[in-house]
Amino acid sequence: MSPDLVLVRTGVANVASVIAAFRRLGVEPRLSDDPVEIRRADAVVLPGVGAFAAGMARLQDAGLVAPLRARVERGEPTLAVCLGVQLLGLESEEAPGVSGLGVAPARTRRLVDAPRLPHFGWNQVEPDLTCRTVCPGEAYFAHSYRLDDDASLAAEGWSVARTREGEDFVAAIERGAVLGCQFHPELSGAYGAALMERWLERAALACAGGVV
């Protein structure tokens, strides 16, 4: 049985491709910015394309900061994409003085050694041995900033997948049924579809009370 899936209406993301990708997997997501729905949903997707400050302002204005923090802290099925994974962190160089959700102990920094910015393209994703949802493969990226590869991520139970574009950086983080991707799984062809399907399977298992 598919989980009840809610996409957060952030106002800074084009969600059409995300919705289409889930529909291809046989799941019909709902768009919502209602804190009660975000709190009660079986699974939640936090998408994002755009600026860190605008993304956090939207979450704060909609009253979504507390429910999203609680979901991740409880390990409830949550998928954060692109800007979404940066919002899980502490802060970003893109917006000095603006705090993120703070549920992942890492800061967002600008890519400095990439051949060109923004970075658009396909890169090889290499997960840690502890990753259970992210597998090796090529994914599509579109960004100028990325999470620090901080040792405190592992110390707080996060598994890390990495990639390289002029420099090594975090491609994805996962902990239980929570997955954050700097790349766009919805635009990453068969690789992204398989990743989303594995996350949905873990979400369904978590909703059934299984161990993820």
Tokens for 65?
């900061």
- Listed in sequence order, the DSSP H helices in 32-114 are 35-40, 52-61, 65-74, 83-87
Which among 76, 82, 131, 143 is annotated as catalytic? 82
End-to-end CA distance of the chain: 16
3-state helix, strand, coil in the chain (%, to 5): 30, 25, 40
User: Catalytic residue at 165?
Assistant: no
Plot region of 101 (φ>0 → left; ψ -120 to 50 → alpha; else → beta): alpha
Q: How many residues does the chain have?
A: 212
Selecting among 119, 174, 184, 207, the annotated active-site residue is 184
Question: Is 82 a residue of the active site?
Answer: yes
186 is a catalytic site residue: yes
Burial 36-74 (b: 16+ CB within 10 A, else e): ebbbebbbbbbbbbebbebbbebbeebebbebbeebbee
Active-site residue, from 76, 165, 174, 186: 186
User: For residues 164 and 149, what is the distance between their CA atoms, to the nearest angstrom?
Assistant: 12
CA 58, 178, 169, 125 torsion-angle sign: negative
Active site residues: 82, 184, 186
